[in-house]
Every structure is written in structure tokens, then in C-alpha cells.
A and B are shown apart, each in its own frame.
Chain A
Amino acid sequence: MANYVYSSSPHIKSPRTTRRIMIDVCIALLPACIAGCILMGTANAAYPTLGLLAFTHLAICCITSVAAEWIYLLCCKKPFKQIIAEFDFTSLVTGMLIGMNLYPTSKWYVGIFASIFAVIVVKMLFGGTGKNIVNPAIAGRIFAFIAFGAAFGGAMGYATPAGEIKQFSSPISHGSVTAGATPLQVLLGGATEATSTLTNLDLFLGTGVAGCIGETCKLALIAGGIYLVVRGVLNFRWPLVYILSTGLVSVLIAWIDGCYNANGKFVSALLGTKFVDAWEVFLPSILSGGLMLGAIFMATDYVTTPNTKLGNYIYFAFLGILTAVLRKAIKGEAVSFAILLGNILVPLFDMYIRRKPFGYVKPERKRVKKAAQEATAAKEGE
């Protein structure tokens, strides 16, 4: 007699597995990776090797991330065959994202250290897939940003404790094509020039934009996002809430800013000296920097988002507000810090925002109950 499989119900299950989801994310990241390499390679005729550098960064990060996970598991005495059989591609996603978060001009070792930090410290030491508290890729990027500084690079530069914006010198920001500041820099007052040479379309397509490998071409990122939505991996609401709230809060900040004159004196609530067209603020703020990459691929990591619908609406709106405010305050590196801060707060969201189960009857408040009891008692007394 044959041995039949014996298990608890249900006996049929959806074909979707964690591995399948992660492969989908990898596929969705590909267009932005390819676009990043091409754009970097063609951005500046003086530096044709930038594209190749971008590709090398991506490859190094992917290989390091996966290797780090496997070596960690081997150290845990897991047989190699089993590691391969259970490989769920999460570390590949982490590797791709870290690569996309590097600048082509970053030093070659930055990606290696960031990947190892992300996979080993942030993910594996906390218990592996699904147990990490913050998104490994975000943590990896921030690790690189803080630990390597100039070697990490960056077009926006960073804020010194004194509040001064320091610009890293990189070939791309000296090149002829991207000599101008980005509209966002102009907006935030961090640029040397008063106006930007880049249009919103440039920002959208990533043409001539200096930045990380993966964040330049918004079109490719959105295409990847749509793929994930179609595949049922991503809920389109969450990136949308994040991006819209960033844009709206940026407009609000610019409006408040416009109400004050150069000397910091309140002028008028409606007709400030620098009152700007809302649209002129909205578009650059949603199209600039790492917002799209962060909103579509990094903030929406299942592990580090709340579990309830309401919680997610609040969480992503909160991320948007944080991003806009941080941009204004620290003039750069806002998205990753906003997501990191948000990630840390997720357990609180899950602790305080609970679902109301089916058939839930709100328990009568003690005070109301008491009043009702007294009323009936009084009636009986009559």
C-alpha cells in the first residue's frame, strides 16, 4: 500500500512562495539597474567608464550579499545542499538594492562592506528572513553613508554639524552635462546656483541627473513597481501614499517658507516674498533623490511594514512627512533615514493599531454601564 501524504488542512495551497515573490522583486528591479548603468555610461563623455563602474558595483553587491548569507549559514553548520534548496532570494534583493544605492563613483569596497553589514548584522543575526527589524538594504546604505563618507560619494553632499552643506567632488558633478544643480537642491537652498538646468522630464527619465545608480531613472522604477502590482506582490496604495504625502508636505513647507522674508520676518500668509507655484515644488520633490526607489522598493518591504491596513496608511503618510521634513532639515539623505526611523516604529504601529474582528461588539464602557444600572435601579425604586 502506498504511503499517502498526511497533514492538517488545507490540502491545496496557492502556488505563490516566498522565493517566487523575491524573484519577482529581482525582475522588477532589473529595469532600473539597466537604466542606471546606461544613463551613467552616457551622462558624461569625459567619463565613459561610469556605466561599467555602475555595473561592477551592482555585481559586487549581489555576489557579496548572497555569499555572506551562505557563508553565515555554513558557519551555522547547515549542509550546503540544504542552503541551496532553501535559498529564497531575499539576500539577492538586498544585494541589488544596495548596489542601486551606491554612486558609480563610490569606492569599490563600499558595496562589499555595506552588503556584509546588511546581510550578516541586520538580517542573519536577528534571525534571518522575516526577522529583521529594519530593512537590510536601507541599513546597508546608511552604514555606507556614515562609515565611508567621501568614499561613498554622493551628489547632494552631506550636512556638517554646523549646518553647512558639503559637496563631494565627483566627476559627474563636474561634467558639462550636469553642471547645474538639481531642482530639489535649488528648492532646499543647498545648491550654489540659483536655478537648475534640469527639467522635470530630465528628473523623470534620469537624463543628466547625478545620483545613485538605481534611483536616477524614475520611469524604470515605476515600470518595475507596476510589474509588482500586476504580479500581486505590491499593493499600489502604499508607495502612492508615501510619494503623495512627501509631495504635499514639501509644498506645505515651501508655502510656509514663502511667508517669511529673507530676514526671517513673517510677511503674509498668502502672498509671501518667495511664494511659489505649488506644482513647481510638488514635481521636483517627488521626482528627485531616492524617493521613488525608497517608496516603491524599500519602504514596502513586507517585513518592516505594519500588518493592518489602517496602520499602513498612517505609516506611509508618516514616512512622507518625515522625508519632506528631513529634506528641509538636513538637505539630503532624507529618504533612507526616514525609512530607517519608520522601520523602528513599526512594532509600535502593530501594538496600538489592531483590527476589529468579525462580530466584534464594543464592550460597554464602565461609566455608561454604571449609569444604566443606576437608571434601572432608580426606576425600580419608584
Chain B
Amino acid sequence: MPDNKDLTATVAIEQMPIVTDYYVPLSQHIGKPAQPVVNVGDRVIEGQLIAEASAFVSANIHSPVCGEVAEIVKRKNAQGVAVDCIHIKSNGEQDKFTLPPLTDPTPEQIVERVREAGIVGMGGAGFPTAVKLQPQDPVDTLIINAAECEPYLNCDNRLMIERTEQFLAGVRLIAKAINVSNIYIGIEDNKPEAYAALLAQDGVIPDTKEALQSRKEGDIVVVLLKKKYPQGAEKTIIKACVGREVPIGGLPAAVGCIVDNVGTAYAVWDAVVNGTTLHKRLMTVSGRGIRNPKNIEVAIGTPLSQIVELCGGLTDDAVKLVSGGPMMGYSLINLDVATTKTDSGLLALTDKEASTVLPTPCINCGRCASVCPMRLMPMYIDFYTTVGDTENAVKYGALNCFECGTCAYVCPAKRPIVQSVRLTKIKAKEKK
């Protein structure tokens, strides 16, 4: 699979200038939508709490900019679902709200800060990190997912290169919060620059026999992984780093692991050391349909159309817009969508890059099964879904699929396998 990382691999992170309108969705994470704590007409400053977590599994949301709450409206998100958004009109002031910085925090303080700052898993799923840092099962290992296996994306890569120390400090803070000293960073071998940058730091060792022998307590082991999508899937990276297999239906904590993303580690550092609430994130804007592909730090709630404008706009042959990576991201109808905490990428693909070939009958070649990281047999799931037999589709493991899309990528018949899996999941849910 061509990774197309070269479009932005060497492009330094750029700051997104302030725009006039921000639409901050109240549901950017797994769990309940946040509850607004501001009213229309209120003046807010950057970083200020504007909506608070409404349940244990939920997250706080903070203002991306200084301005005024114009309205609370329903807008479509990248998935095409209408969600409540707080519309903030910026007023150009420069003021920033921060929480009091913590020096030498206790594990409880870190978890509390992560919760306050509204940090969620920034790799894509958006699971509230504070919940993750209070596992039900005993854990002994922290794995930082730096694989960034999705093609095109480079935001984690650039973050590790440009903010190495902060990132590693964040990793250590997470380890402290869950009280483990066994720390791994899994990175794909197509990021040599980031790999070298990490190893140049103190207390970071490579995954070699000699280095492991002289490993000291708290040393971070950087595991160089083969470039192979979906290497960065939670279960696959655990298997690749420590060789443990998460049981079907289980969480990583079941095998004593916690997996966090690079962006999350950085956000934890920023929240603990600087008291910054999560209202900005890194995003790779790429694809051959974008005039100037870039890695930018963008305030959450920024309309995607503004981001594209900053990157020189779309080329004439762009046929597909994708929020997130090309394998698991969502295709967009238009750019009238706001940035969320989980948006790691925005892609504009040309006809050559985006596959628009129509599906043909399955020829039973077995490629989907041979690439499936969950070792399922996607051809049967697709077949049974197509004929409407949900029961058998579930039997072949449709519910264990995490929709990485590798099967649909390799399929010579271009079967919409992932779509079948999703349909089966919905149908199975309805049945229950």
C-alpha cells in the first residue's frame, strides 16, 4: 500500500490564523454529548470551559477563541449526523484561560487534570482519556501508538520530530497516572526522522537485545514496526509491541495494557505543565487534490473550508473529500463541517487516488482473509450481509471487525466489505 506520506512528511507544523466563525460540536467523543455551560451572548476567552462532561464517559469542551457565543445550532458533522454546535464569533482579542500548572503531580492529580482539560483519544476514536487512565483491570504496560499507519497522515510524525521532549514528558506523565514503568512506543519504519529524534533523548532505548539488557527502570522502549497497515490498530500494536493478544470483545486492559496516541500524550503534557485545555490539535491537510499540503495546528471548531483555503484551495481534479485518514476516515459531502478533537487529517483526493471502481462479483480469491488483522473471513461476512443473513454474518465475526478496511483495499472485485460489516453491526444491534 503506497503511504503517500512524502506529501507532508517534511512540512513543518504551521499555526492556523484566527478565523471569524467557529462551530464547536458538543459531541466529539465516545459517550454522552457535553452539556453547554454558556448562554447565547456570553463573552468567552480562548481555553475557557464552554460545555462540561455530562456523564462519566463524556468530555469537557473548551472555547477555541476569544469571542461571543452567537448561537447553539444543529450542524452536520463529518459522519453526516446533525449534532449541537456552539457557534462562537471571534472578536480578535488575545486572551487565554489556563488551569494552574502542576509541578510533580500525583497520579490522581494527573487523571483529574486530564478530565478537566477534556482530553480524549486523539487517534480517531475519541474515547475520554481520563476514563482510560482508570482501568478496571490491573495494568503493567503503557504503549504509545506512534505507528500512524494511515496513509497520507503526518501529524503524529511531525509532532514527534518538532516537540520530542514535550511528547516524551507527556508519555511519562501518562505512565505515572496509571503507575506503570514498562513503556513502549510503537513506530512504523517509514518515520526514520522521528525514530532518530526519539532515540536522541535520554531514557529512550531501541528495541534491540543489547539495549534491553541494560534497560533501566522507566526507560522508554521504542519499537520499530514494519510499515504495514493496520499496524496502528490498538490490538495489532499491542501484539506487535509486547506479543499479547487481546481476547475477543476485550479491552487492552484485559492483557494489562493501556494504549494511547501521540497527540494524546502531547495534550496531557500541555494540560499538566502549562494548564492548557484541549482546544487545538494537529491536522494533516493532504492529498493531490490540495494545492499546498500542510501540517497545521488548528483550533477545534474551525470550519474545514477555512483550512482548505489556508492550504491554497482544492485543485480542479479533486473528486473526493475525506475527514481523517483514507482507510478509516469519512468522506464528506462538502467542507461545511467543523474540526473536532479527533480529526487527524483532511484529504482531498483526485480521481487517480480515490477508487471509484464499481464492485464486481466476489471471485473467492481469499485476499481479504489473508490480510485481515483480526483473522476473520470477510468474504463470508460480505456474502451473508448481501443476502440479508445477519445471523451468519455475525457468526463469521462481523462484530469483532474494527473496520480497518484492509480487506476492501485489497479486494480485486472491489467489494464494499466494510460497508457490509457496518450494516451487519447495525442490524445486529436492532435485533437485540
Chain A residues with a Cβ under 8 A of chain B: 1-2, 4-14, 16-18, 20-21, 86, 88, 90, 127-131, 302-303, 305, 307-309, 354-361
Contact = CB atoms under 8 A, between A and B. Distances in A.
Nearest to B289: A4
A358 B237 CA distance: 13
Given A13-B414, A17-B414, A308-B369, A4 B408 contact: no
B235 A358 contact: yes
Given A5-B354, A88-B360, 8 more contacts: A4-B320, A10-B327, A20-B412, A21-B365, A21-B412, A305-B364, A308-B369, A358-B246
30 contacts: A4-B318, A5-B320, A6-B331, A8-B416, A8-B422, A10-B326, A10-B327, A10-B405, A10-B408, A11-B322, A11-B331, A12-B1, A12-B409, A13-B355, A13-B414, A17-B357, A17-B412, A18-B360, A18-B363, A130-B361, A302-B364, A302-B366, A303-B363, A307-B377, A307-B379, A308-B366, A355-B375, A357-B376, A358-B374, A359-B374
Contacts of A307: 364, 366, 369, 377, 379-380
Contact of B363 (A2, A130, A359): A130
Interface in B144-173: 151
Contacts of A14: 1, 409-412
Contacts of B319: 4-5
B271 to A, nearest CB: 31
A355 B376 contact: yes
A264 to B, nearest CB: 46
Interface in B375-432: 375-377, 379-380, 397, 400, 403, 405-406, 408-414, 416, 418-419, 422
| B interface residue count range (under 10 / 10 to 19 / 20 to 34 / 35 or more) | 35 or more
Nearest to B423: A8
Q: Which 10 A-B residue pairings sit nearest by Cβ, starting from the closest?
A: A13-B355, A10-B405, A8-B419, A302-B365, A130-B361, A358-B374, A130-B363, A10-B327, A5-B320, A12-B326
Nearest to A311: B366
B410 A16 contact: yes
B362 interface: yes
A361 B419 CA distance: 27
Interface string B244-275: 01111010000000000000000000000000
A87 B263 CA distance: 47
Given A18-B413, A86-B360, A130-B362, A10 B376 contact: no
Contacts of A12: 1, 151, 326-327, 349, 353-355, 409
A14 B328 CA distance: 15
Contact of A302 (B322, B353, B363): B363
